[in-house]
């Protein structure tokens, strides 16, 4: 009897050994067992845009005869997108993180909060008699009225990205040659409010727009394409650090040009505006977006410059201000005839412009029009661009995240 029990125990141990190693039970092909569970992710502040097909391109008359919006049928994978443009207060979380990381480097230690962030309570934890952090501030003749101010030129963020296009080529590249390292000064250019307008008094916006609590929920501006890209990388690291128990291989990023247009249309395939109509006013005569009406009646739509990022009604996907308020950076490089050669499945045109490249190669697509643009630029099919290293008082951004799965119904 004892030998039978021992044999049975041995059999169970062997069975457990084989099953735990990922092999098929009883010789059957069952796939690797004990795989991580996946219930999907649904980031706060983002909405799901389902997979689908649409006609990209001009929905109305090409009044400027640009010939850059050739109609094309494409298909897009599902993705998440921020329901609003990134606000000043959201972007400030990024700048504060970089500020604190510089302080940690100087101090040599840090205190983590409940989310694992290396944050500093500057009112409590910083010893103002200690000169350790002096280098973070303007010194000597750079000070104004003896006021202690941080030198934001030091707010530099470093990150790495992998060149998948280069890796997919048939060349025998070393892994190290595929890794690109980027350093970006990420503090918004607050001087855009003066630089963008000649003979115009906008100094109050320069002093207050990014700093004052009154503008916390307004879209961040003065951010170039590289700064927006740095924000998306930091946001991915922030998410993964907090969600380290989950499997997430995707990254927050800027939407591609065609993803942006698909989301802006809100499921209305041929409509020139995201709200579906051919006009920028409703039946009551109220303007439906923040732009430059008529010959320049800026405040007629309810905002002299930008407005809060959730102003006006969202489109049918739940996205606010896809027309007007601020134009938005996309991932895509700008090429006038891009629609004639990009693929019809998740089309996108990428180019990593170098510092010594011609200016034409540094153009990135912006979409949606802004508070200072006429209604033509608000149309979902209108293409426009800015240089990747320029900052403007009318250009912001929002993030996207590729959805893993067939549809949102796959989530548990």
Residues 173-231: tens digit of each pLDDT = 888 999 999 999 999 999 999 999 999 999 999 999 999 999 999 999 999 999 999 99
What is the mean predicted confidence (pLDDT) over 134-153?
Answer: 87
Of 100-104, 266-270, 406-410, the least confident: 406-410
What residue spans in the chain does CATH classification 3.90.1580.10 cover? 46-87+186-410
Q: Which of 80, 70, 72 is nearest to 343 (CA)?
A: 72
Q: How confident is the model at residue 8 (pLDDT cuts 50, 70, 90)?
A: low
Q: What is the pLDDT of residue 126?
A: 60
CATH number of the 46-87+186-410 domain: 3.90.1580.10
For 278-297, write each residue's pLDDT tens digit: 899 998 999 999 999 988 89
Q: For the chain, what is the mean pLDDT?
A: 86
The answer, yes or no, to whether residue 95 has pLDDT greater than 80, is yes
Residue 36 class from Cβ within 10 Å (0-12 exposed, 13-18 middle, 19+ buried)?
exposed
Q: What is the pLDDT of residue 58?
A: 76
Q: How confident is the model at residue 115 (pLDDT cuts 50, 70, 90)?
A: very low
What is the mean predicted confidence (pLDDT) over 110-134?
Answer: 58
What is the mean predicted confidence (pLDDT) over 133-154?
Answer: 87
Q: Is the pTM of this model over 0.85?
A: yes
Q: What is the pLDDT of residue 7?
A: 56
Q: How confident is the model at residue 62 (pLDDT cuts 50, 70, 90)?
A: confident
Q: DSSP secondary structure string, 313-326?
A: ---TTS---SSBSS
The answer, yes or no, to whether residue 36 has pLDDT greater than 90, is no
Q: What is the pLDDT of residue 102?
A: 86
- Tell me which of 223 and 4 has the higher pLDDT: 223
Which of the 8 DSSP states describes residue 406? Answer: S
What is the mean predicted confidence (pLDDT) over 132-158?
Answer: 88
- Tell me which of 140 and 155 has the higher pLDDT: 155
Of 5-9, 339-343, 371-375, 379-383, the least confident: 5-9
């Amino acid at each position: 009897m004892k030998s039978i029990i021992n044999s049975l125990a041995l059999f169970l141990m062997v069975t457990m050994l084989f099953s735990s190693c990922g092999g098929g039970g009883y010789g059957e092909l069952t796939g690797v067992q004990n795989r991580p569970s996946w219930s999907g992710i649904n980031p706060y502040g983002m909405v799901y845009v389902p997979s689908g097909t649409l006609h990209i391109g001009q929905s109305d008359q090409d009044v400027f005869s640009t010939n850059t919006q050739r109609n094309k049928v494409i298909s897009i994978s599902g993705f998440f997108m921020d329901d609003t443009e990134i606000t000043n207060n959201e972007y400030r979380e990024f700048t504060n993180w970089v500020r604190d990381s510089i302080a940690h480097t100087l101090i040599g230690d840090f205190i983590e909060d409940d989310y694992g962030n290396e944050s500093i309570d500057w009112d409590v934890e910083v010893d103002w008699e200690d000169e350790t952090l002096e280098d973070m501030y303007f010194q000597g003749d750079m000070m104004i009225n003896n006021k202690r101010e941080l030198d934001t030129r030091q707010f530099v963020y470093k990150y790495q990205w992998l060149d998948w296009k280069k890796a997919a080529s048939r060349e025998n590249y070393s892994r190290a040659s595929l890794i690109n390292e980027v350093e970006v000064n990420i503090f918004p250019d607050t001087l855009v409010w003066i630089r963008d307008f000649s003979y115009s008094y906008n100094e109050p916006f320069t002093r207050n727009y990014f700093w004052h609590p009154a503008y916390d929920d307004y879209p961040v501006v003065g951010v170039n394409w590289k700064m927006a890209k740095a924000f998306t990388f930091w946001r991915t690291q922030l998410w993964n650090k907090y969600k380290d128990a989950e499997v997430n291989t995707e990254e927050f990023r800027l939407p591609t040009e065609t993803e942006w247009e698909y989301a802006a249309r809100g499921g209305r395939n041929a409509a020139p505006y995201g709200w579906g109509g051919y006009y920028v006013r409703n039946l009551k005569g109220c303007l439906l977006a923040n732009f430059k009406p008529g010959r320049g009646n800026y405040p007629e739509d309810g905002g002299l410059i930008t407005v809060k990022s959730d102003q006006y009604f969202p489109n049918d996907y739940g996205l606010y201000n896809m027309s007007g308020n601020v134009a938005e950076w996309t991932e895509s490089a700008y090429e006038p005839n891009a629609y004639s050669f990009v693929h019809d499945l998740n089309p996108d045109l990428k180019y990593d412009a170098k510092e010594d490249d011609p200016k034409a190669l540094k153009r990135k697509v912006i979409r949606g029009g802004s508070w200072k643009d006429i209604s033509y630029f608000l149309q979902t099919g209108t293409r426009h661009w800015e240089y990747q290293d320029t900052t403007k008082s009318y250009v912001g951004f929002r993030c996207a995240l590729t959805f893993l799965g067939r549809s949102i119904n796959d989530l548990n």
